[in-house]
A = this chain, B = another copy of it.
Amino acid sequence: MIVHAVPQIEDRSEAIVGSGASPLDAMRLAIRRLEAAGSTYIAIPCNTAHHWYSALREWSRVQIFHIAEVTCVALSKQPLNNGAKIALLATAGTLASGFYQDRLRAYGFRYLAATPEGSRDLAELGIRLVKAGEIKRGACLFEQCIAALRRRGAEAIVLGCTEIPIALDLIASKTRGHVVDSTQALAEACVCWWRSYAATATGLTQGTA
């Protein structure tokens, strides 16, 4: 595994909502570096960055997972009713971009929007707290959001920002049973791809005779 960890990249959410510079050039450079290091598949563990997925996919010489795509695949494996209502906790940028909403609908789910004054603003505040190191305080806000969205009829809640599962895990939150974790879905997609790649590349498969 090659990891490109560059915290200086411009804030993705601020760029989408129009108050910050674009991170696209820095992300393109990251992809060239990962390619140069021999990467054969790329995972981007930042939901908001997927606003630029098409541009990055076009630029990249290797394939890139889409975090919302693999999260929807994980969702469809859950025992949910047809047309289940799914809510989304995410940054303002991810919500504004719409790539999760589009995919949820494409997978046959109904999207339950968070209300601005309710869980939407609370989630955004929670994400900022986690980024500032106030992880437990952030976690409490996420738990409130999840409870509010459940009351409004959400059958599952997508944790659509990588700060959220870190916080819920730290307090061993009992809400975990009602959520789908995009970070975990992305990690599982990587492991699944690696297993099939390693099997092909090194002849690890058995019973070929």
B5 touches A4 (CB 8 A): no
A55 contacts B by Cβ under 8 Å: no
Copies of this subunit? 2
Q: Nearest Cβ distance between residue A132 and chain B, in whole angstroms? A: 20
User: Does chain B have a CB within 8 A of A49?
Assistant: no
Cβ of B2 and Cβ of A37 under 8 Å apart? yes
Chain B residues, CB < 8 A from A37:
2, 4, 33-34, 36-37
Q: A1 an interface residue at 8 Å Cβ cutoff? A: yes
| Least Cβ–Cβ distance between A3 and chain B, in angstroms | 4
- Asked if A108 CB lies within 8 Å of chain B CBs, one says no
Q: How far is the CA of A34 from the CA of B34 in the complex (A)?
A: 9
Q: Does B38 lie within 8 Å of A2, measured CB to CB?
A: no
Chain B residues positioned under 8 Å from A5 (CB to CB): 1-3
Q: Known contacts A34-B37, A37-B33, A37-B34; decide if A4 and B6 are in contact (CB<8 Å).
A: no
What is the CA–CA distance of A36 and B1 in the complex, to the nearest angstrom? 15
A154 to chain B, nearest CB (A): 36
A-B complex: 3 closest residue pairs judged by Cβ atoms: A37-B37, A3-B3, A36-B36
